């Protein structure tokens, strides 16, 4: 299902210099002026495409997205901004649009200049190859991802389509990945912006693989505004697409063997619950225990304690995949270590934490931490 007005292409520019046959540069084009909104990383170190994208979102109109993997174009100073703008102008020339109607997205190694000449040499191929193959475009953004992340919904005749990349450097603080959501439904730009910001709070802002927030995190949404559709249905479909993409990122976490849902309740506010869940989800000791199917619940208690949330230890209870582990801050009556160990050997783990009687709650999704994660990241540039 491809929203009307949009087309895609991809090519191989050998951006990382490894001679990999993988496509690493992609183009998304809209044959009308599309409404644009987006959210970006809160990391104070922002890549050149993020800085440019933040300005372009203020204009609210775009015609094309130029995405690349293999190079983040981050920590490259004014030269990095110039490189991105040179590519934007070259794309615009081929598509006969304005340069500020092209938004760049980059992911990959930080601190290295883009190989602009290599990328320029592929723009004619991209412009000529535009079609309905969203899969090849999604793959062009992949780095350590093991599969392309694509989700779609229909609302009447209107379509919502999302693509994303993300596997490592995943921590909740905006929309931790590169993601693009497109629709042909007619939407006021304010409605589109509100919808994605609301969705991000409990989806991309609620996932963590390794606690690292990228310099390049971007989620943009575009509407070609071609078809009338019921607004509430479109908003719901956009949320579902973003939610599905975020869960794909968790399931594809670098080296991960388990997906873990951490539900926190009983806090004074939802934000406090989010802090507790994020702290537990990012704890290396908790994550390695999950990998080893070790029911070491003390690590969870310790993480709750240093979350920065004022809690009464005697009010804490913890269940792991339905098994009571902690009651009133101490080992639960009837706790059976072997039962919990057996539950932890599964691929989907649920950790339910209550810290009191408040109404605040939040759910975080995370993974275990395996030897493979270390191998992938120790050899990332090798």
Half-sphere exposure of 338 (CA within 13 A, CB side): 0
Distance CA 216, CA 249 (A): 15
Q: What is the full DSSP assignment across 14-72? A: -TTSS---S--EEEEEEEEEEEEEEEE---SS--HHHHHHHHHHHHTEEEEEEEESSB-
CB atoms within 10 A of CB 300: 25
Q: What φ, ψ does residue 211 adopt, rounded to 5°?
A: 80, 0
| Tokens 């991809």, residue located | 10
Half-sphere exposure of 212 (CA within 13 A, CB side): 11
| Tokens 């607004």, residue located | 231
Asked if 107 is an active-site residue, the reply is no
Token pair of 67 as six digits: 């995405």
CB atoms within 10 A of CB 353: 26
Which residues lie across from 320 on neighbouring strands? 323, 351
Token pair of 258 as six digits: 């388990």
Catalytic residue among 76, 107, 143, 176: 176
Distance CA 295, CA 308 (A): 24
The H or E element spanning position 348 is strand 348-354
Task: Identify whether the C-beta of residue 280 lies closer than 8 Å to the C-beta of residue 304.
Answer: yes
DSSP code, position 367:
E
Q: Looking at the annotation, which residues are catalytic?
A: 176
């Amino acid at each position: 299902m491809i929203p009307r007005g949009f087309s895609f292409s991809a090519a191989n520019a050998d951006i990382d210099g490894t001679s990999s046959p993988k496509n690493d540069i992609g183009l998304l084009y809209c044959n009308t002026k599309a409404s644009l909104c987006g959210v970006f990383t809160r990391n104070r170190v922002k890549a050149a495409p993020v800085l440019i994208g933040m300005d372009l979102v203020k204009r609210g109109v775009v015609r094309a997205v130029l995405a690349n993997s293999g190079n983040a174009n981050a920590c490259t100073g004014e030269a990095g901004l110039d490189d991105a703008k040179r590519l934007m102008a070259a794309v615009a020339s081929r598509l006969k649009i304005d340069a500020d109607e092209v938004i760049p997205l980059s992911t990959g190694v930080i601190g290295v200049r883009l190989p602009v000449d290599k990328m320029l040499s592929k723009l004619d191929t991209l412009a000529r190859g535009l079609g309905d193959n969203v899969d090849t475009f999604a793959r062009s953004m992949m780095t350590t991802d093991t599969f392309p992340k694509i989700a779609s919904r229909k609302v009447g005749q209107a379509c919502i389509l999302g693509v994303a990349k993300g596997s490592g450097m995943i921590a909740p603080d905006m929309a931790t990945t590169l993601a693009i959501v497109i629709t042909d439904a007619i939407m006021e730009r304010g409605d589109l912006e509100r919808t994605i910001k609301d969705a991000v709070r409990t989806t991309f802002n609620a996932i963590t693989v390794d606690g690292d927030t990228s310099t390049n995190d971007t989620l943009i949404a575009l509407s070609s505004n071609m078809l009338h559709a019921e607004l509430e249905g479109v908003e719901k479909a956009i949320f579902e697409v973003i939610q599905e993409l975020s869960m794909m990122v968790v399931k594809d976490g670098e080296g991960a063997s388990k997906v873990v849902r951490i539900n926190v309740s009983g806090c004074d506010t939802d934000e406090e619950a989010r802090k507790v869940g994020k702290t537990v989800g990012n704890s290396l000791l908790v994550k390695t225990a999950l990998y080893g199917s070790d029911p070491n619940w003390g690590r969870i208690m310790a993480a709750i304690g240093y979350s920065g949330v004022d809690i009464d230890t005697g009010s804490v209870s913890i269940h792991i995949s339905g098994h009571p582990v902690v009651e009133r801050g101490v080992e639960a009556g009837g706790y059976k270590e072997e039962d919990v160990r057996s539950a932890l050997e599964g691929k989907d783990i649920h950790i339910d934490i209550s810290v009191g009687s408040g109404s605040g709650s939040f759910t975080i999704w995370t993974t275990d931490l395996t030897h493979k994660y270390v191998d992938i990241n120790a050899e990332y540039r090798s």
